[in-house]
């Protein structure tokens, strides 16, 4: 944790803080500090680290002392300061958790052990490991948020001394800081720490850009310092005239913040209007609004640049009024108006709350509530990669504030949709969402929400599987995780249904019987924990159906069964086709024999209860004789029996499935097919073709030109039709279009 990054805090190195200096720093804000505890921690850590040194050559003990010093600036409790001094002793010395507990108590021992675990995490390893490590970080933080505060202070000191680290490691550590630690500090409301972490990381990742911005800011400051003072004076006088007592300060934005805005808005430094911001610190919330009113009376405000984070705080607890006004000379000035307590929380964030002092309960609003919600995601079964992705989404987002019809405030990331809103209300509301009203008007579920929108969600009686497209459209980690989980669950159900059908089919072909209870008795032979896992494995082609038969009937051999499919190499391509028992039930046709029904898996279309796809480059239609090809992990692909593409599977007879159509004649569902059309090269020809297809109630999915002579054009059109008869009617209609359509015929997959 500390050893990798160099010397002590910014400023001169090699000077070590003494015991009395550490205690004095704590007593400035806590006169009743436990001097004995801090003295003992200091002496113990100094002896434990002994002659260890850092990359800078300084004594290693300087590092935990500087971490403790950073935490005294945050005014943290004695236990946290002591844990900071001791935070590396278990990892780097002979000290043990038991010894720390005995000497300093279990509270400090728990903090030090939590930090020791975090020391071993590599958050910029490959994605799966990074996600798992980030889970461990937040799980440690969930037990005691002070672990995160010490970890952030540790990272800040390491970043201040990063120049002592070899260049190859610098980039990795700086990127990790920018990706994880700076956003975490911001999400915890610790804006001052976030600014410094970002600036230090930016300095090492893009040194030329950092130096360029600093140089330009220095130039601008020479001519702008007097102007900043004038603006401070004007704002202060305006507040005083309105009877508002407060302090006014001008501040320069951080280089990284400026760089990010230049990149986002594609602007030069000179064109940015808010390089300097001005803060007005007042005594009460009432004073905040009085100061805002005084500013808006004195100067025009810029429309769209006013934000009220006092009445609607950010999720990390940040509160302030933001407004941009235009001063004389067309000078745009950003004002941030807040109470002094709000300012303290902005600087110190979660550290400004008494979450762990005097036995007080944790504040379940703001940053701490976000942390709790994030930890709750760990219990929802997300993979490490998904957890990292969703948490990063939460770390980096800006916000919009929306309301329920009853006035409940819901804070969401910018770009959120009514689906995000529904899942933010409750997971069950998201799972049953089927429509939305925004500001009283019906709106698409994927519409982008704006600040102040009132959103009402219409729900179904029961949860339904969300469309996969929702996952890419939503903006919150919670919604994305829930949608992905529901999609997985639906897919599992489909594979389970397919596997059950295949197992039943295998037993019928073998002339054997089975029951669920009997199969449960042989789960150990199948190396699966449950019967559903067996069916899913069969459906995913991870387990052969015949292996399930053998689990119950060990003496059974497939070669001796009745009606076995001939080997593809012996029977040939058409032999395999003839071995497939394929039927299609339609109105007016007699029902198939019972043996046919029993030996084929029913296919009901894309919206059925099986993981089904149709052959690429041509599809398959009710009315076609069909065969199913099982693809591991993907499900069944349905091909017409005459498809030339089936020859690719001659050497894999185990992948062939007997399937049959079982579509509902009263339900209009469209299936994919492909048509090759040759048309005359003349104006309006394409419109005539499209019109003919549309008049027959078919749908054009894709269309492309494939060539042709000077006076002709060849088209390939992917259409969606109800069945084979419907497609034949479309082709027949095309052929009657006079001289425009020269030829039309179906293309087989």
The span from the CA of 203 to the CA of 211, in Å, is 8
Contact 148, 141 (CB under 8 A): yes
How far from 512 is each of 470, 516, 546, 594, CA to CA, in Å?
44, 14, 11, 17
- Two tokens, residue 135: 């889970």
- Two tokens, residue 7: 């010397």
Beta-carbon count within 10 A of 79 CB: 21
> What residues act catalytically?
91-92
Q: Is 414 helix (H, G, I), strand (E, B) or coil?
A: coil
Q: How far is CA 749 from the centre of its chain?
A: 37
Q: Is 31 helix (H, G, I), strand (E, B) or coil?
A: coil
Q: Show Cβ contacts of residue 421 under 8 Å, excluding neighbours closer than 6 positions.
A: 402, 410, 412, 436, 449, 455, 457
Closest of 80, 57, 58 to residue 69, by C-alpha: 80
Which residue reads 């010490």 in tokens? 150
What value, to the nearest 5°, has the Cα angle with vertex 148 and ends 147 and 153? 100
The span from the CA of 195 to the CA of 216, in Å, is 19
Q: Show Cβ contacts of residue 47 under 8 Å, excluding neighbours closer than 6 positions.
A: none
Instruction: Write b or e for each residue in 366-390: b if 16 or more Cβ atoms lie within 10 A of its Cβ, otherwise e.
Output: bbbebbeebeebeeeebebebbbbb
- Two tokens, residue 524: 């150990």
- Two tokens, residue 154: 């540790």
Closest of 176, 582, 126 to residue 385, by C-alpha: 126
The span from the CA of 644 to the CA of 656, in Å, is 15
Which residue reads 């030090």 in tokens? 112
Q: What is the dihedral of CA 248, 253, 257, 261, to 10 degrees?
A: 90
């Amino acid at each position: 944790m500390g050893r990798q990054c160099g010397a002590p805090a910014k400023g001169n190195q090699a000077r070590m803080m003494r015991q009395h200096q550490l205690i004095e720093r704590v007593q400035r804000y806590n006169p009743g500090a436990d001097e004995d505890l801090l003295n003992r921690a200091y002496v113990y850590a100094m002896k434990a680290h002994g002659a260890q040194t850092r990359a800078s050559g300084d004594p290693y003990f300087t590092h935990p002392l500087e971490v403790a010093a950073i935490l005294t600036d945050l005014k943290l409790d004695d236990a946290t300061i002591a844990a900071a001094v001791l935070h590396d002793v278990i990892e780097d010395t002979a000290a043990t958790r038991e010894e720390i507990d005995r000497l300093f108590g279990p509270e400090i021992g728990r903090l030090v052990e939590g930090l020791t675990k975090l020391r071993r995490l590599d958050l910029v390893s490959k994605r799966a490991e990074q996600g798992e490590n980030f889970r461990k970080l937040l799980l440690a933080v969930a037990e005691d948020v002070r672990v995160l505060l010490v970890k952030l202070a540790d990272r800040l000191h390491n970043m201040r001394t990063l120049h002592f680290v070899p260049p190859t490691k610098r980039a990795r550590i700086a990127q990790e800081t920018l990706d994880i630690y700076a956003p975490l500090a911001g999400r915890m409301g610790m804006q001052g720490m976030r600014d410094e972490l970002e600036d230090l990381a930016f300095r090492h990742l893009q040194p030329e850009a950092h130096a360029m911005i600093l140089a330009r800011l220095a130039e601008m400051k020479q001519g702008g310092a007097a102007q900043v003072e004038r603006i401070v004076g004007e704002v202060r006088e305006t507040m005083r005239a309105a009877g508002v007592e407060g302090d006014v300060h001008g501040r320069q934005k951080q280089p990284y913040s400026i760089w990010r805005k230049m990149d986002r808005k594609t602007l030069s430094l000179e064109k940015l209007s808010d390089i300097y911001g001005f803060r007005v610190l007042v005594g009460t919330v009432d004073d905040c609004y009085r100061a805002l009113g005084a500013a808006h009376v004195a100067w025009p405000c810029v429309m769209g640049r006013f934000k009220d984070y006092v009445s609607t705080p950010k999720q990390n607890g940040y509160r302030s009024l933001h407004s941009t006004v235009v001063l004389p000379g067309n000078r745009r000035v950003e004002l941030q108006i807040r109470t002094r307590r709000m300012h303290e929380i902005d600087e110190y964030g979660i550290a400004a709350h008494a979450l762990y002092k005097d036995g007080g309960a944790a504040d379940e609003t703001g940053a701490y509530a976000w942390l709790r919600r994030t930890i709750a995601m760990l219990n929802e079964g997300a993979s490490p990669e998904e957890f990292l992705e969703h948490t990063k989404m939460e770390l980096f987002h800006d916000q919009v504030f929306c309301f329920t019809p009853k006035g409940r405030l819901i804070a969401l990331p910018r770009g959120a949709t009514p689906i995000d809103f529904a899942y933010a209300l409750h997971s069950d509301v998201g799972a049953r969402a089927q429509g939305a009203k925004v500001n009283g008007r019906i709106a698409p579920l994927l519409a982008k929400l704006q600040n102040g929108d009132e959103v009402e969600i219409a729900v179904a009686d029961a949860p339904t599987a969300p469309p996969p497209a929702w996952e890419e459209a939503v903006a919150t980690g919670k919604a994305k995780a829930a949608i992905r989980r529901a999609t997985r669950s639906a897919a599992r159900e489909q594979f389970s249904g397919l596997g059950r059908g295949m197992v039943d089919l295998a037993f019928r072909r073998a002339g054997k019987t089975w029951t669920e209870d009997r199969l449960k008795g042989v789960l150990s032979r199948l190396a699966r924990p449950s019967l559903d896992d067996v069916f899913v494995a069969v459906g995913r082609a991870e387990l052969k159906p015949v292996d399930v038969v053998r689990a119950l009937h060990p003496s059974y051999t497939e070669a001796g069964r009745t009606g076995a499919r001939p080997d593809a190499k012996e029977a040939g391509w058409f032999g395999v086709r003839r071995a497939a028992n394929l039927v299609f039930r339609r109105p007016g046709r007699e029902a198939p024999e019972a043996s046919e029904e029993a030996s084929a898996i029913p296919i009901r279309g894309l919206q059925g209860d099986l993981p089904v796809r149709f052959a690429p480059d041509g599809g398959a239609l009710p009315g076609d004789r069909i065969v199913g090809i099982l693809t591991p992990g993907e499900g069944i692909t349905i091909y017409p029996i005459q498809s030339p593409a089936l020859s690719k599977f001659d050497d894999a007879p185990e992948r062939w499935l007997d399937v049959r159509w079982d579509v509902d004649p009263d339900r209009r569902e469209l299936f994919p097919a492909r048509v090759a059309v040759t048309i005359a090269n003349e104006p309006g020809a394409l419109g005539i073709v499209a019109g003919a297809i549309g008049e027959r109630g078919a749908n054009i999915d894709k269309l492309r030109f494939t060539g042709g002579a000077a006076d002709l054009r060849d088209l390939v059109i992917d259409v969606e039709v109800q069945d084979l008869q419907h497609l034949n009617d479309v082709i027949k209609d095309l052929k009657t279009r006079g001289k425009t359509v020269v030829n039309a015929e179906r293309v087989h997959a």
